[in-house]
Amino acid sequence: MNQYQIVEGDQTVYRDGTIKLHGPEGFEGMRKAGQLSARVLDEVADWVKPGVTTGEIDDKIREMILDGGAVPATMGYRGYAHSSCISLNHVICHGIPGDKVLKEGDILNVDVTSLLDGWHGDTSRMYFAGEPSIKAKRLVEVTYECLMLGIEAASKPGARLGDIGAAIEAHAHQFRYSVVREFCGHGLGRLFHDAPEVVHAAKAGTGPELRPGMFFTIEPMINLGKPWGKVLKDGWTAVTRDKSLSAQFEHSMGITEDGVEIFTESPTGKHRPGDY
């Protein structure tokens, strides 16, 4: 059984397995952190192009987060030293920004987390460098649909955590794509990664019920080929074993009395490639 814990004020919370329930001040904090991260991803759309390095994009991200009065939550997190994760082509997640030069046709995920006034806004989107293949574009579009269908499942009254993964898996399988199981969405708020674990493939009607005040991410990683991944020797970069393309989108959200509030929605309508 999962336990729930009400969080108020600036009370210290622990990674003790409990699911935290927040009030209006938590929603306000997450809105601010989430909107800063979303504004950063809006700008990233103008920075991604062939010839640019992932390290240059990461530098601009750091600058913009610091200018916003926040810090990149990934800097110094378990030894990670960058302001974003940038995952190209067959990289599933946790790609390390560096000297890699973007080339025509690359698809990439940029994942940022701002820590603002003690709250974490965690979000990622896919971007295109130039014009990718039709296969790559369709994977990206369907992955975005998977995220939004997961959110829709979470919005229904009486929803359980497993409903999210069930909706995502059903959609991905229609296109014969696979769902990564080694990495999950997560509770967040005062903590970057907290209970519950939000799996992206699950059975409907299972898992803890979604209660108002719960904050978590949904961040499906969908592969063109098999679901299996491995982590490279750098200790971070997760790639598909069969080197097939992988895509991901992520939002941070809170459960409200009548649905879901997405904290990291783009303020300028840049939801997915095609919008930018």
Give the single-character DSSP code of 79.
G
Site string for ligand MF3, 91-120 (x = CB under 6 A): ---x----------------x-x-------
Burial of 56 (0-12, 13-18, 19+ CB in 10 A): middle
Tell me, by CB under 6 A, how many residues bind ligand MF3: 12
CB of 104 to Co ion, least distance (A): 26
Nearest CA to 100 out of 131, 155, 168, 54 is that of: 54
Among 37, 250, 251, 254, binds ligand MF3 (CB under 6 A): 250
The footprint of Co ion on residues 203-222 (CB under 5 A) is: 217
Residue 145 interacts, among Co ion, ligand MF3, none and using kind-specific CB cut-offs from 5 to 8 Å, with none
Q: Tell me, what amino acid is at 70?
A: A
Cis amide linkage into residue 196, ω under 30° from 0 = yes
Assess 194 for contact with ligand MF3 (CB under 6 A): no
Output the CA angle 182-256-166, nearest 5 degrees. Answer: 35
- Helix (H) / strand (E) element for 38: namely helix 24-47
111 phi and psi angles, rounded to 5 deg: -120, 120
Q: With respect to ligand MF3, which residue has the nearer C-beta, 58 or 169?
A: 58
Assess 122 for contact with ligand MF3 (CB under 6 A): yes
The single residue listed with the structure tokens 């974490």 is 120
Among 4, 27, 47, 77, binds ligand MF3 (CB under 6 A): 77
Residues 6+ apart with CB under 8 A from 176: none
Among 85, 116, 148, 164, binds ligand MF3 (CB under 6 A): 85
Determine the interface stretch with ligand MF3 among 14-22, 35-43, 70-78, 227-235 (rule: CB under 6 A).
Answer: 70-78
**Are residues 223 and 240 in contact, defined by beta-carbon separation less than 8 angstroms?**
yes
Residue 58 interacts, among Co ion, ligand MF3, none and using kind-specific CB cut-offs from 5 to 8 Å, with none
Q: Based on C-alpha coordinates, what's the Rg of the chain? A: 17
86 phi and psi angles, rounded to 5 deg: -125, 110
Q: With respect to ligand MF3, which residue has the nearer C-beta, 55 or 105?
A: 55
d(CA 114, CA 252) in angstroms, rounded, equals 11
The footprint of ligand MF3 on residues 208-247 (CB under 6 A) is: 219, 236
Assess 74 for contact with ligand MF3 (CB under 6 A): yes
Residue 77 interacts, among Co ion, ligand MF3, none and using kind-specific CB cut-offs from 5 to 8 Å, with ligand MF3
Binding residues for Co ion, rule: CB under 5 A, are: 111, 122, 217, 250
Binding residues for ligand MF3, rule: CB under 6 A, are: 74, 77-78, 80, 85, 94, 111, 113, 122, 219, 236, 250
